[in-house]
A and B are shown apart, each in its own frame.
Chain A
Amino acid sequence: MKNSERLTKAWYGVLVLLMALGGWAIIERIRVGLVATNLTSETTWGAWVAFYIFFVGLSVGTFLLSTMFYVFKIEHYEKIGRDALLVSIISMVVALCFILLDLGRMERFWHTFRYWNFTSMLAWEVRFYVIYIGLLIAELYLSMRQDLIRVAKGTGWQAALARFLTFGSTDLSEESKKRDHKWLKILGSIGIPIAIFGVLGGEGMLFAGVKARPFWNSGLLPVILVVSALVASIALLLVFYVIRTKLMGREVDKEMVKSLAGLLAFFLLIEAGMEFFEFFVGAYGLQDTELATIETIFQGPFSWLFWGIQIFLGVVVPLFIFFNPRLKESVNAITLAAILVVIGILGVRFNIVVPPLIVPVLQGLPWGYYYPSPVEWLSSLGIVAFGLFLYTVAIKALPIDTVEELREGK
C-alpha cells in the first residue's frame, strides 16, 4: 500500500507540473493572441484542431462502446462500460478546451449559440455537443445511481458527495433498478445516432464539406473518422483498464483483455483498408492539389509522421503483436500495442488536419508550413494532463467500478 501511495503522489505531481506549464502557455496565448502559435493564414488550423478532433472522436468512440455494452447487454465488457462513459465525458471537456483556445476571439465563444448559420457544420456541431454532453452525464448518473446510494451509506467525503448526488434518495428496489436500465437503454438509443451522425459525422463533414480542399472532399472521410475513433477508444479503454487494475493490485481479466484486443485488431484492419482506398481513389483522380497533398504526406518534411508513426507504430507493430501466437497471449504486449495504436491515431488526426492546409488552393500562392510552437505543445500537454487529472479524481470520487469490485480491492 505504501508503494501505491507513493505512486499516486508521483502521478499527481507529474500532472500538476504539466498543468502548471500548460497554464503558463495558455496565459501567454491569451496575452499575445494567436501569434503565440506557429499558425499562419495558409496553414491556419494546427495542433489544437488536431487534438480537438482526436478527443471528440475518443468521446464518441468510448460512448458508442459503453452504450453497446448496455444496450446489447454484453456482460463481458460491462466492467468497463461506466469507465467508458466517464472517459467520454472528460474527452469532450478536453476537446472543448482545445477548440476554445483555437478561437481568434475566445471571449466571443457564446456567439456560436446566439447566432445560428443553418448551413454551417460548425454551428450544428456546437449544438450537438450540448445535447450530447447532457446525454452523457445523464447516462453516467443513471448507470451509477444504485452504487451511489450504496456509497452514500458509508462515511467520508466520497459518501457525502454521493449523498449530495442522489438527493437523499435511497431507492434500491428491483423496480428502480429496472427503471434505470430502461432509461439507460432509451438514452443510449437516442444517443447512438446523435453521436455517430451529429457529433462525429458532423465533425467529418466539417472537413469533407470543404470542396476547396480536394483531399478532404471525400465521402469516406467521415466514415474513417468514426472507425478510427472506435479504434482509438477500444485501445485507450484497454490501456486504462489494465493500468488501473494493476495499480490497484487486482487481477487483470485476461480473457476480456484478449477479446478486446481481437476487437481492436478487427477495427484497425477495417480502418487501414479504408485509408488505403481513400488514398488510392484520391491519387487515381490525378487532380493536382490532391496529388500534391498526398505527396506532402508521403514525402514532405513530416513524412515520418505518416510512415513512422501512423503506419509503422500505429498499424504494423500492433497487428504483429495481435497476430503473433506468443505475444498475443501477453497482457503487457497487448497493452503496449494498444498504446501504440492510440499514438498512431493521433498521427492520423494530424495528417487529416495539416497537410491539406500546406498545399496552396491556387497555383502560385505561397505554400504553407507548420510545426507547433512551444506554446502550442505546452498548452496541449497541459490540457491533456488536466483531462487525466479529472479522470483520476473522478475514479476516486465516484463509484466508477462496481461496488463489489471496490470491496474486493480493499
Chain B
Amino acid sequence: MSADKKWAMVIDLQKCIGCDACTVACKAENRTPPGVTYNIVITEERGTFPSVTRVHVPRPCMQCDRPPCVQVCPVKATYKMENGITAIDYDRCIGCRYCIISCPYGARYFDFGLDYSQEMVGCNEVQAPEYGVDRGKREKGKSPIGNVRKCTFCYHRLLRGEEPACVEVCPGDARYFGDLNDPESVVSKLAASPRAFVLKEEMGTKPRVIYLK
C-alpha cells in the first residue's frame, strides 16, 4: 500500500436503514470489550407529528484532519498516520482520558478491562491485530486494557487489502470507503457532491468521515 493514500469514508444517510449491522460487525471484527463500541448508529426523530421522519446517523471515529484528541494527548500516544488515520499507540498511552474529554464526537472509549467471558467461551483467546500489531491473548494488566480505544478504520484489514468491516457488511450499501487523494475515486466524487456535509463542522476538526444528506 503506497503511503500517499488518504483514507476517507462517505456515509449516505438516505441509504442507511438503521439496522446497526455495522455496529455488530465492528464489535465482531475488533473484538471490542463491553462498553467499547467504535461504531454506533444514532437515531434521531425529526419533525413534529404527523410529518415525522427518522434519520439514522452512524458514528465511527471521524479520523479528523485537525483532531483535538491529538492536540491534547500529553505523550503523543494519539497521532495522525500518513494515511489520514488517527492512531493510538497502546504501549505509550497512560490512560489519562484527556482525549475522550476533548473528542467532539464521543468517539473514544476507555477499556476498563471488562470482557464477555460470562456470555462466550474463549472470548479472550485472540484480539484483533489493531494497527497491525498482534497482541495475542487479552490479559489482565496488558494493553489495551487501561488505555483509550477508538475506531481504526480497520487499519489491519486495510493492510490486507480489505475494506473496513462496517463498509463490507452494510446491507443498505450506505458506506463507501476509499482514497481522497485520488480524484477519480468514488469517495472523492461523493465528497464533492452538494449533499455532502460533516458533523459539527463548526468545531473545525476537518473530519474524514463525510455524510450525504
Most B Cβ at <10 Å: residue of A40, A102, A111, A120: A120
A410 at the B interface (CB under 8 A): no
A210 adjacent to B112 (CB under 8 Å): no
- CB-defined contacts of A206 to chain B, threshold 8 Å: 98
What are 19 sample pairs from A and B whose C-beta atoms fall under 8 A apart? Answer: A32-B113, A33-B113, A33-B146, A35-B112, A40-B110, A41-B36, A104-B147, A105-B94, A108-B93, A119-B72, A120-B71, A123-B75, A210-B72, A211-B104, A212-B103, A361-B104, A362-B199, A365-B59, A365-B106
Tell me, rounded to whole Å, the shortest Cβ–Cβ distance linking A174 to chain B: 47
Partner of B110 from A34, A122, A365 at Cβ < 8 Å = A34
Q: Which of chain A's residues have a CB closer than 8 A to the CB of B106?
A: 42, 360-362, 365
Q: Is the interface of B mostly helix, strand, loop or mixed?
A: loop
Give the CA-CA distance A111 to B75 in the complex, in Å. Answer: 6
Residues of A within 8 A of B109 (CB): 41
What's the least CB distance linking A236 to chain B, in Å?
28
- Closest Cβ of chain B to A122, distance in Å, is 4
Query: Once the chains bind, are A362 and B42 in contact (CB under 8 Å)?
Result: yes
User: Binary interface profile of A, 212-253, with partner B (CB < 8 Å = 1, else 0)?
Assistant: 110000000000000000000000000000000000000000
Give bound CA distance, A346 to B165, whole Å: 47
A41-B109, A44-B101, A210-B102 provided; 14 other pairs, C-beta below 8 A? A35-B114, A44-B110, A45-B101, A103-B96, A104-B110, A105-B94, A108-B94, A109-B94, A115-B76, A120-B71, A123-B74, A211-B104, A363-B42, A365-B106
Check B143–A105 contact: CB distance below 8 A.
yes
User: Which of B95, B101, B112 is within 8 Å of A213, CB to CB?
Assistant: B101
| B-binding residues in A (CB < 8 A) | 32-35, 39-42, 44-45, 102-105, 108-109, 111-112, 114-117, 119-123, 126, 206, 209-213, 357, 360-365
Question: Which residues in window 132-176 of B have CB below 8 A to A?
Answer: 143, 145-148
- Ranked nearest first, the 10 interchain pairs of A and B with the lowest CB-CB distance are A104-B95, A364-B42, A212-B104, A123-B74, A122-B74, A104-B146, A115-B75, A41-B109, A105-B146, A120-B74
- B189 on interface, CB distance cutoff 8 Å: no
Give A325 Cβ to nearest chain B Cβ, in Å.
47
Contact B73 A117 (CB under 8 A): yes
Is B43 interfacial (CB 8 A cutoff)? yes
How far does the alpha carbon of A45 sit from the alpha carbon of B57 in the complex, in Å?
27
Q: How far apart sit A361 and B94, CA to CA, in the bound complex (Å)?
A: 23
Q: Judge whether B101 and A210 touch: CB under 8 Å.
A: yes
Q: A45-B97, A211-B104, A357-B101 are in contact. Are A115 and B92 (CB under 8 A)?
A: yes
Contacts of B110 in A (CB 8 A): 34, 39-41, 44, 104
The residues of B that contact A45 with a CB separation of less than 8 Å are: 97, 101
Q: Which residue of A lies closest to B94 (CB)?
A: A108
Q: Name the distance in Å between A398's Cβ and chain B's nearest Cβ.
A: 34
User: Quick check: A119 and B101 within 8 Å, CB to CB?
Assistant: no
| Residue contact B35 to A212, C-beta cutoff 8 Å | no
Q: How far is the CA of A191 from the CA of B112 in the complex (A)?
A: 39
B100 within 8 A of A: yes
**B96 nearest in chain A by CB position:** A103
Question: In whole angstroms, how far apart are the Cα atoms of A361 and B103 in the complex?
Answer: 8
A337: shortest Cβ distance to chain B, in Å? Answer: 35
Residue among A42, A104, A115, A206 with the most chain B CB within 10 A? Answer: A104
Q: Is B42's CB under 8 angstroms from A112's CB?
A: no
Please name all residues of chain A whose beta carbon is closer than 8 Å to the beta carbon of B43 when the two chains form the complex: 364
Name the CB-closest residue of B to A123.
B74
Minimum distance in angstroms from B59 CB to a CB of chain A: 7
Chain A residues contacting B96 (CB-CB under 8 Å) are 102-104, 122
Given A126-B74, A362-B199, A363-B44 in contact, is the A40-B35 Cβ separation under 8 Å?
Answer: yes
Q: Tell me, in angstroms, the Cα distance from A364 to B54 when the chains sit together.
A: 12
Contact status B94-A117, CB under 8 Å? no
Q: By the criterion CB–CB under 8 Å, are B148 and A112 in contact?
A: no
Enumerate chain B residues within 8 angstroms of A364, measured Cβ to Cβ: 42-44, 57
Q: In angstroms, how far is the closest chain A Cβ from the Cβ of B113?
A: 5
Proximity bits, B21-56, A CB within 8 Å = 1, else 0? 000000000000001100010111000000000000
Q: Is the CB of A44 within 8 A of B97?
A: yes
Contact of A41 among B35, B70, B77, B203 (CB under 8 A): B35
Contact with A along B79-111 (1 / 0, CB 8 A): 000000000000011111110111111101111
| Complex interface: chain A residues within 8 A of B35 (CB) | 40-41
How far, in whole Å, are A359 and B57 apart by their CA atoms in the complex?
19
B69 to chain A, nearest CB (A): 10
Does residue B200 face the partner (Cβ distance < 8 Å to A)?
yes
Q: Which residue of A lies closest to B102 (CB)?
A: A210
- Do B94 and A112 touch (CB < 8 A)? yes
Chain B positions within 8 Å of A213 at CB level: 101
Taking a contact as CB atoms under 8 Å apart, the answer to whether B72 and A120 are in contact is yes
Asked if B68 is an interface residue, CB under 8 A from chain A, the answer is: yes
Known A40-B35, A364-B42, A365-B106; judge A211-B203 contact (CB<8 A). Answer: yes
Residue of B nearest to A41 (CB): B109
Q: How far in angstroms is the closest Cβ of chain A from B50?
A: 22
Measured CB to CB, the nearest residue on chain B to A32 is: B113
A364 vs B18: C-alpha distance when bound (angstroms): 13
Q: Is the CB of B72 within 8 A of A121?
A: yes
Chain B hits for A361, CB < 8 A: 103-106
A119 lies within 8 A of B71 (CB): yes
